[in-house]
Amino acid sequence: MTENNEQRHFHRIFYQAQVTLNDESTQWPCELIDISLHGCLLRFDKDWVQNNLETLYTLTLELSEATMITMSVSVSHVIGNEVGFKCEHIDLDSISVLRRLVELNLGDSHLLERDLLALSQAN
């Protein structure tokens, strides 16, 4: 286990789904690498060159035609074309879907409860 993994407070899950990222004027094609209750890691076709790190973006993760997760995110780190985003806001419906997705992928409700406790302490 690396030092970074020991400091991680949220379990990340790896999930392939249709995802879009946009701000008020632009939409970027991207690929979801992983997602957690705290944010996500996305891969873009080109290196990320947006200079304003304070911009809020809308991430939409389509799990099915009827089920989506939508959250407001901000950039937390950039390494070439892979960008980490921090969840700034998520509505109740989306957090319920994300919680269930994380719970199913972790296979352990105690790990999910630990993530939720860490989320409440982070804010």
- Per-residue pLDDT tens for 44-99? 999 998 777 789 999 999 888 888 899 999 999 999 999 999 999 999 999 888 88
Listed by start position, the domains of the chain span: 3-122
Per-residue b/e over 51-88, b at no fewer than 16 CB within 10 Å? Answer: eeeeeebebebeeeeeeebbbebebeeeeeebbbbebe
Instruction: Report domain 3-122's class.
Output: mainly beta
pLDDT, tens digit, for every residue of 27-53? 998 999 888 888 899 999 999 987 777
pLDDT, tens digit, for every residue of 16-33? 667 899 999 999 989 998
Q: Model confidence at 7, in pLDDT bands (50, 70, 90)?
A: very low
